[in-house]
Amino acid sequence: MQIIKHKTNIDFIGKRRIAVFISTIVNLAILVGIATVGFNYGVDFAGGTVVELKFNHDISATDVRKRAEAGGLHDVSVQGIGSDDENTFLLRMGGVTQLNEANAEKAKAAIAGLGEVRNVYADMANGIINFRSASALTTDAIKKAVEGSGTGVQEVRILGEAQGGGFDYQVVASGMADKVFSAMSQGQQAQDFEQRRVDYVGPQVGKQLRNKGIAALLYAMVAILVYVAFRFDFKFGPGALLAMLHDVVMVAGFFLVSRREFNLTSIAALLTIVGYSVNDTIVIYDRIREDMGKYKGKPLPEVINIAINDTLARTILTSGTTALSLIGLLIFGVGEIWDFAMAMLVGILVGSYSSIYIASPLTIWLDERAAAREARAKGGGMKPKTA
């Protein structure tokens, strides 16, 4: 049984210029969008808090969001996970502690109202306020003042008397999870939800994760480029690299346009796509090298077109079977699983396209350049004939 007949004769290479032109325009548009608009970074990269809540009754994501906003959580993302009857949601928000730029000033003003207070300093990264008071203060009075300004207090630490006189104190702000619990409990006669999981990622850790994720992507590309250069020929390597870059940019465009969260799962999808893309490219390259020996004397564009047609059935069937498994994940998956599957599906489609219309045309262009240089070298070495 043949789903796709062998020995097709489609002129892929004849349409390479218009394909390269369209791909260049789309890639440039995506890069401009990334530079100007940027990704919708998830908690992994931007830092923040993720809280998983399970309700004991039917409730929609819209109702959960309204309830959170009514409780004072205005910048919160609500995402349902699992099946609808599980009533389980992920609440994502920026910040690890309740101390931020806006309420830090209010908290410092509230502390200053307790008496002769000086050296008030807010450590935003750790959610701590340090200050010194001329007279001794009670922890209850400090906690009441700070909570009255809108910042939850996890602990008030008495650091003891200072050498220069006065007493040092430290206020540790509550985490965002406490604020979520308080906001979702507001106005409820009985607690109707269970707080299952809390994840914190600080802004510095998020930045490190983002940088290391991008570095891993670059290292993978360089390693694959070195392999292709040794496995084949120098003129084949740049084509494989450009095809990989094309696929990465196109999948990044999916996250840019859809505004889906860009996080560690997205990096995993990009790394998988890099490997998948070069796999298809190498299959075509191997057939090109084989056909170059078989069809000696034929122009390289014609040889490449034969090789692409020879491997077309393999490319479509391999990509198609992989896409079928991803469609299952798209139908039944939610959250980050759905994002991963969709990114992979986009990557498979553009990966099959780039092997034909990005990697191969660049190989032809490099071969033409090498031939032109060789012709110029021969022409320059010829001496004019004398009469």
* pLDDT band with cut points at 50, 70 and 90 for residue 3: low
Residue 2 pLDDT > 80: no
> Parallel, antiparallel, or unpaired for β 40-41 and 261-262?
parallel
Global pTM value: 0.72
* Banded pLDDT at 26 (limits 50, 70, 90): very high
Angle between helices 360-381 and 16-36 (to 10 degrees): 110
Is the pLDDT score of 386 beyond 60?
Answer: no
Give Cα separations from 202 to 70, 173, 199, 264 (angstroms). Answer: 26, 15, 10, 15
Interval 153-181 mean pLDDT = 83
pLDDT band for 249, please (50, 70, 90 cuts).
Answer: very high
Say whether pLDDT at 234 is over 80: no
pLDDT at residue 381, as a whole number: 54
User: 100-104, 113-117, 118-122, 247-251: lowest mean pLDDT where?
Assistant: 100-104
Give the model's pLDDT for residue 6: 67
Residues 6+ apart with CB under 8 A from 75: 93, 94
b/e sequence 298-331, b meaning 16+ C-beta within 10 Å: eebbebbbbbbbbbbbebeebbeeebeebeebee
Report the DSSP pairing between strands 117-123 and 153-161: unpaired
Q: Residues 287, 310: contact at Cβ < 8 Å? A: yes
- Give per-residue pLDDT as tens, 160-170: 887 778 888 88
Is residue 231 exposed (0-12), middle (13-18) or buried (19+ Cβ within 10 Å)? middle
Give me 6's structure tokens.
Answer: 């062998």
Task: Read off φ and ψ for residue 194, nearest 5 degrees.
Answer: -120, 130
As beta bridge partners, residue 167 has: 133, 161
As a whole number of angstroms, the distance between CA 98 and CA 87 comes to 26
Confidence of residue 387 (pLDDT cuts 50, 70, 90): very low
How high is the pLDDT of residue 32? 95
- Is residue 101 scored above 80 in pLDDT? no
Taken in order of first residue, the domains within the chain and their CATH numbers are 13-41+203-372 (1.20.1640.10), 48-91+177-200 (3.30.70.3400), 101-174 (3.30.70.330)
What are the residue ranges of helices labelled H in the chain? 16-36, 43-46, 61-70, 101-112, 139-148, 176-185, 203-231, 237-258, 264-294, 300-310, 312-332, 335-354, 360-381
Report the chain's mean pLDDT, rounded to a whole number.
83
Angle at 205 between CA 200 and CA 210, to 5 degrees: 115
pLDDT tens for residues 194-206? 888 887 776 677 7
